[in-house]
Amino acid sequence: MAIAGKYDFPGIKKAGAAGIKVALASTAWGAWLLKSPFSKVVDILIEPFVNWLANQGLVVLNLGAIIVTGEFDQKMFDQALDDGLKTVELGRDKISAAKGKEIDDAVIAAARKYIPFQP
């Protein structure tokens, strides 16, 4: 049995390695690691590690997607709040009821995507 496991999962290796790299890139130290000279070592070790995980029954395909989606949702929420605050700072007497509802709807829609609400 090889170090990376008995079976070879080429698709899972590539997708899982890409997901882990995306997850690493979303952190400060991970981004540094991927830009440093050690990035070649990470490239060499990450696919056998993901293949070993797959041989153990673990598949790491969605890790990067989950982190990126969370970051994207948070940025959309922050942007909606910032846009609303900028509009409000122009002056309350210049904001119509329709414009106020438009701001509220944008913030509410972004919040529903980002904040996990419990029923």
Which phi and psi (to 5°) does residue 5 adopt? 120, 170
Mean pLDDT of the chain: 75
Every domain of the chain and the residues it spans: 10-61, 67-114
Q: In the prediction, which pLDDT does 69 show?
A: 57
Q: In the prediction, which pLDDT does 26 show?
A: 78
pLDDT at residue 67 is higher than 60:
no
What share of the chain has pLDDT > 70, as a percent? 74
114, 101, 7, 117: which is closest to 53 by C-alpha? Answer: 7
Q: Assign 61 to helix, strand or coil.
A: coil
User: 63-72, 80-89, 101-110: which range is least confident on average?
Assistant: 63-72
Q: Assign 6 to helix, strand or coil.
A: coil
| Helix or strand run (H / E) with residue 93 | none
Average pLDDT rounded to a whole number, residues 73-90? 76
pLDDT at residue 54 is higher than 60:
yes
28, 110, 27, 32: which is closest to 64 by C-alpha? Answer: 27
Greater model confidence, 70 or 105: 105
Q: In the prediction, which pLDDT does 57 show?
A: 75
Q: Residues near 73 by Cβ (< 8 Å), separated by ≥ 6?
A: 110, 113, 114
Average pLDDT rounded to a whole number, residues 67-91? 71
Average pLDDT rounded to a whole number, residues 39-63? 77
Q: In the prediction, which pLDDT does 112 show?
A: 78
